[in-house]
Every structure is written in C-alpha cells, then in structure tokens.
Chain A
Amino acid sequence: MGELISPEDRTRHQLGLLYSDVNAELRRRSSNGHRNGSQRPARARVRLPAPVPDAIEKLKAELPVLALQAVGELSLRLRRLTGRDVIDLATMMAMVQFISQQAELANRGEAMQVDDFGFDQEWTESLLPIFRWIYRHYWRVETTGLENVPAEGRALLVSNHAGVLPWDGAMIKTALMEEHDHPRHARALIAQFFFGLPYLSWFLRRTGQTVGHPDDSVRLLERDQLVLVFPEGVKGTGKPWSERYRLRRFGRGGYAQVALRAQAPIIPISVVGSEEIYPMLGDLGAIAKLTGFPYFPITPLFPWLGLLGTLPLPSKWRIQFHAPVRTDLMPPDAADDQNLVMTVSDQVRDTIQQGLYDNLKLRRGIFY
C-alpha cells in the first residue's frame, strides 16, 4: 500500500493540508478581528488606521503562507538531494501552531484569567510543547513512580535541587503534565531573590510559581494544589561539581512543618541528571555579591561563551517519585513538635539520597 503513493507525493499532500490549514486559520483570525472591532468602537478610535497601500496589506496577510510554501519547497528539494527528511513536516506544523497560538493568547484582552497568585493556566499550557521537546528529546527524561502522586487533593513534593538554573523544577512540572494519568500543575516555591528581577519574576508568576514563604505554601496546599519545594535552596543549585549528588542541609525542616500544618502528604522526588547540565567549576563570589545574585558560576561554557554558555548540556535524566510520607495522617498539632518535624525531614532526606544512588546506578553514563 505504501508503494502506491510515492513519499514525495505524500509530502506534497501533507504540505497541501498544511497550507489550507494556515489559510483557514488566517481567514478566521482576520474575521475575528473585525468582530472585535465592531464590539468595542472606543478601542478602534485609539488605533488610527494607517494609510497602508492595499498591495502591502495583502502581502502581509499572505506572508505566513508564502513563508510556509518556501520552507515546504526547500524540504522537498533537500529530500530529493539527500534522500531523507531534513526538515520534519510535523515539527514545522507544530511550530506554526505554536506561533499562532501565542499570538492568539497575547490578544486575549479581558478574557485572560489568572488566579490569586498570578498563575495564567492557559498560557502556561501553551508553552508545554517547548518543555515537552526538552523533556523527551533533549534530556530524554525517564520518570518512575508517578502513581505515588495523587490524582487530586493536596500534596507537598520535595525534591533535590541542582544545576545552577532551576531546570529540575521545570522537568518535574513537565513530567506531571505529560506522564501523569491526571495531568496536574505543580506550583513551585522559588527563592525570594528571583522575584525582584524584571522579566524573570513576571515569567515565574505567570507559570504558577510563587515566593518561597511558608505562608504561601500553606495557602496553596489549603487550595488542594501540588506544591513543589526544594529545601536545599540555592545551597543545592550553587554546589560545586565535586559535590554532585550529595544533598545539602534541608533548611530547618520548615517544609515538613508546612506539610504537617496543612495535613498534606510529602512525596520525595529524586532527580538525576540535573547536576551535569552546568558543571560548576568555580564561583566568583565577588561578582555575585556585587550583583546581588546568590552565586556567580563558572562552568566549562560560562561566562566564556556569553549567552551561549547558558545552554545546558544534554545529560541523561531520571526522575523518581517515591512513596508518600503520610504527614497527612498525623494530628494537626504535630507541626509544633520540633522533634517530629526533624524526624520527618530526615526521613525525607534519606529517601531522596537513597533514590539518587539507585537512579545513578540505573544510568549507564552521564549522556546516555
């Protein structure tokens, strides 16, 4: 059956579908624009119609299709030349969809909804394709034990923290959205320092993160959310290469207290692979102090290559969700029992450390 249609024809057919899709999309969007315009005359008055020639307007409208046609033509030629798919049509399709979706979300206007913490669920989910690609193809994450995360209700996820930038948080969140039977958003608590930075604070809030303050975690847990914490904090992300996979002190056990107070189970998580994305060879404390950053890392690529140096290395990742510690079954006044709090904290820490050793053994090497 496959022999009846040549691969080239199949590509042409796919391309045709793609063009018609984009055309329909463009038509739908332009008609939407007109409808919005008639609904809000006040807004229309602000935007004065610029005297643009019709020909240019037409060209502007057709530009996406023309660009697609060009890329499609290019992919056909490349295939003829090399005999294999150099530009994957499915990826191209996904990219077109992603861009048009972003444009649509940016023009939501009053329909945009965020929760009390500033979390924009719709937009966060639209970013998933990027993180899915990183998750599946860049770090090839293997996740186990997702059945330990409840389908609904509160839980405190506690993970080890490594690798200069908090990619481990992003990958845990992606795992829960991608592989869990009931996709859920985890809300990570981030070091307070980052909320003073422009753009980054904006991004963190929009994607559901909040300030690392016990108040915030209790509040989120009381709303039956999944809360993700890294008790090691910046001491974990800023540790040197020689100390990789050795857990730091778990703060003062504050997270265990939070879980006991909110009567939420603690789910320990071990992440393997995050230590190797930015091997930290040194730390320029003086520059860190000057800029107010918690550390200023020196890696094989950073700061020598500038922005390129912030590209993480493609290590092989494993994430394991462990069986929950049933802090939800303990009485609420247990939070005031400092002895119990530290016992729970130590138990969680031991579970994560053991999980790290187990998963390191399961990994054949750093990059595969």
Chain B
Amino acid sequence: MDLEDRPEIAAARRPARKGHRVLVTGVSHYLGGELARRLETRDDVAAVYGLDIDDPKVALERTEFLHADTRHSLLTKLVRGLAVDIVVHCAVLTEGRTPARAMHETNVIGTMNLLAACSGSGSPVRRVVIKSSVAVYGCEPYAPSFLRESMAESAQVGEFLANDLREMEQLVQDFHVRNPAATVTTLRLGRRLGMRELTPLGEYFLLSRVPTFNGLDPRLQLLHDEDAVEAQYRAAVADHPGVYNVAGDGILLLSQAIKLAGRPQLPVLFPFWRAIARAQLKATGFDLPAAIADFLAYGCVVDIDPLEAEFGWRPPHTTRDTLRDFLARDDAGPPTSGPQEYELSQYLQRRRRLAAGARR
C-alpha cells in the first residue's frame, strides 16, 4: 500500500516547516486530544499529527487527524513519510472496560507496531513518550506503602492488565536498548476518575450507594486529568529519559473518599476471590473491571519523588483535590459546551473536505 493511497496521510503532508513534528496516538480520548491541543500552541512545533480510529472529541486547530489504527505497515510509512521526530503514544488502554483480548491487541501489539515503526537506522524519531499506568504494579496487600519504579518487575500479579503493561514496558525497554539515539520516557499514570470521560472508578464513586469489600479500607491515590496531560506534555517537549510514576500527593482511605462523595457506604462485598464480588456487582448493573476491583480491595500508592527530581515538577492536585474537583464537575452539567461542539463539527468537516480534495 502506497502512502498516497491514504487520502488523510497525503493531505497531512505539508511543506516542511522548521520545528518538531509530533505524532500523538489515541487523540480521540481526553488525554491524547488535550495533549495535541497543548502542543499546537507551541511555536517550536511545526506540525502535530493525531492518530486514532475514532473521531477526536476536542476541537483541534492545527492538528492533522489521521483516521487509522496502529498497524505496522501504515505506521512505518507515516513516521518516515512525515519525518516525525517526537512520538507520544497515548493509545494505551488502562482505565476502561475493554475486554482482555482487545486490550492486549491495543496495548501490546499496538505498541509493538509503533515502536517497530520508530526503530531502525534512518528513523527520524528522537523522542518517544509512552503512556503506561500504575496498574503495572498490581494491587498487593503485601506491597510496601510507596511503590518505587523498580518494583514493577518483582510484583507478583496474575491480573491481565498488569501483565500486558509489563510486557509493553519490556518492549519499550528493548526499543530503548536498540535505539540509543532516541530518548524514551515511560509515564506510569496514576488512577484517574475522568472529568470528561468517566472511568469505571469515577462511575464507582457516583453510585447512589457505594459497595466496598468487607473489612478492607485501602489507601487510594488518584491523578487529576490536568496533571496527567501536563506530565505527558512536559515529557513530550523536553528530554526526560526513564520510567516515572505520576500521581497526586497524599492519600485518601476508601471510606474517607466515599464520605467526601457524600454517599452511603455498603461494606457488603466478600474480600476474597474478588471474581465473586464482581459477578455480584454485574448482576446489579455495575461492571467493575478486575484491575479496579483489586484497587478497591488493597489500593496502590506510588512514590513520586523521582518524578519531581527529574521533571522539577510535582502534580499540583493532591488526591483529595482530585476527588473534590471530580465531584464538583458532577454538578457542573454536561461536559462539552455548545461552542466547543460547534468548533469540533467545523473541524471534522474541514478535515473531510481536505481528505476529499486529496482523493481527487
């Protein structure tokens, strides 16, 4: 398949302008979309290319949207053809309810293809930022109170998301060894509630009665959406090689969080064999992913000092602030306002016209 066969890619080709050319995957989601929007505003960024299989949900000005998935043949042409020098990989599913198999395809195979496309001699890529999650540690009752980046390998987890993420990070590690010219940053983002797109954890705190595991009251740590975008942005615009945890300062006990949410707590779930509890919840109409069930049983708190040491920045929203903002958002009404939606439709129309022109 030639590059010209894809009208979006052909349309995205522009006369070379000075500056970075950034590829952002997963722009249909909040993190990728917001990141692309932040990158657009920079003068030293010549072009931003957004890649996803769904339409973006935020209005993008300069970003060229490419309607494609992370298939290898396509990605190689894309990276080389557009001379992309910065790749931010946000198309990693860590929070949602995607089935295990599909998650594996996206997280492991998708990342493998992307990294393969970025590797090799003559690759224009100089900086790669990979989104990962603190889910890579699993949620162990025996884990130390603050997990450090080096502890992911020793964690004994059978949970599929953690295994996938570990496999993915291993691929990133291999890429880094084989391509020393490129700076590789892996960001293990903390659990988010989702201001725009509710994560299952966010939905959990909005239940009218919040079921919890009997006899367990884990320590929770959350990451604010804005801080997640900010961390990725900082990693995209400057070299910060290595693996870093990103999460809010401080902790909340689950019972405290539920009290803050102003909802009654029901300590009814059986604490062992959490599949039983998940089946129970599913019967009542709430689908709780396995990784989140583990999180609500034993919690997961990470050390963010290495992030501060490298980035000179600490997520400004604490765990408590994050929950407060999330609950305030609930009262604020629908997430997308009218003008934004109008802008978005204009943007999508423009993109289609562009694509049609290229096809002709």
Contact = CB atoms under 8 A, between A and B. Distances in A.
A46 B264 contact: yes
A201 B216 CA distance: 7
Given A42-B262, A201-B216, A114 B141 contact: no
A40 B259 CA distance: 12
A192 B256 CA distance: 24
B144 A211 contact: yes
B146 A219 contact: yes
A110 B219 contact: no
A116 B250 contact: yes
Contact of A116 (B213, B256, B301): B301
A205 interface: yes
Given A118-B219, A199-B215, A202-B216, A192 B142 contact: yes
A123 to B, nearest CB: 12
B98 interface: no
A163 B291 CA distance: 38
B148 interface: yes
Contacts of B213: 198
A45 to B, nearest CB: 10
B144 A216 contact: yes
B250 A201 contact: no
Range, interface on chain A:
20 to 34
Contact of B141 (A42, A109, A196, A219): A196
Interface centre among B142, B219, B301 (most CB of A within 10 A): B142
A205 B144 contact: no
Contact of B145 (A43, A196, A210): A210
Interface in B207-264: 213-217, 219, 250-251, 253, 256, 259-260, 262-264
A213 interface: yes
Given A46-B264, A118-B219, A202-B217, A112 B141 contact: no
B289 interface: no
Nearest to B331: A42
B145 A198 contact: no
Contacts of B142: 192-193, 195-196, 211
Given A110-B260, A112-B259, A116-B301, A202 B215 contact: yes
How many chain B residues sit at the interface, stated as a range, is: 20 to 34
B11 interface: no
Interface in A21-78: 40, 42-43, 46
B152 interface: no
Nearest to B216: A198
A118 B264 contact: no
B259 A109 contact: yes
Given A112-B256, A195-B142, A211-B145, A118 B271 contact: no
A215 B213 CA distance: 27
A117 interface: yes
B281 to A, nearest CB: 18
Contacts of B146: 116, 215-216, 219
B348 interface: no
Nearest to A47: B264
A205 B213 CA distance: 16
A216 B301 CA distance: 12
Q: Which of A118, A192, A210 has the most CB of B within 10 A?
A: A118
A198 B267 CA distance: 11
A258 to B, nearest CB: 13
Contacts of B214: 198
B112 to A, nearest CB: 33
B217 A205 contact: yes
Nearest to B147: A215
Contacts of B157: none
B11 to A, nearest CB: 51
Interface of A: 40, 42-43, 46, 109-110, 112, 114, 116-118, 192-193, 195-199, 201-202, 205-206, 210-211, 213, 215-216, 219
9 contacts: A116-B250, A116-B301, A117-B145, A198-B214, A201-B141, A202-B217, A205-B217, A205-B219, A219-B146
Given A202-B217, A205-B219, A206-B217, 8 more contacts: A110-B256, A193-B142, A201-B141, A211-B143, A211-B145, A213-B143, A215-B146, A216-B146
